[in-house]
Amino acid sequence: MKSVTKEYRPISWPMKGAGGETGTWRGHRPVVDTRICTKCQFCWAFCPEAVIDRYEITIDYRYCKGCGVCAAECPTGAISMEKEE
């Protein structure tokens, strides 16, 4: 079995922040309610910017674009989109 190194990563391996840092233009941000999150990893799997930690379910807001895909895919409704202040 090969180890998963940069040379052997699958083509679909999420690469964090492929679109660069967000800056100040994001209108909404996802917020995770850890009381109802089951850590199913759907948000991690569907995030187009790969900014969600797979195991801790935390979001790196430096790269999050606020697209809402994570909230739309969350089966428990644990992720809501809140207006950026």
**Domain boundaries of the chain, sorted by first residue:** 16-85
By DSSP bridging, strand 79-83 and strand 28-32 are antiparallel
| Residue in the structure block whose two tokens are 């100040």 | 24
User: Which among 12, 9, 16 is positioned nearest to 52, based on CA atoms?
Assistant: 16
Residues 6+ apart with CB under 8 A from 35: none
Distances, alpha carbon 82 to alpha carbons 15, 32, 43, in Å:
25, 10, 16
60 pLDDT band, cuts 50/70/90, is: very high
CATH of domain 16-85: 3.30.70.20
Judged against a pLDDT cut of 60, whether residue 67 lies above it is answered with yes
| pTM listed for this prediction | 0.75
Say how far apart CA 15 and CA 1 lie, in whole Å. 23
In angstroms, the CA 79 to CA 71 distance is 5
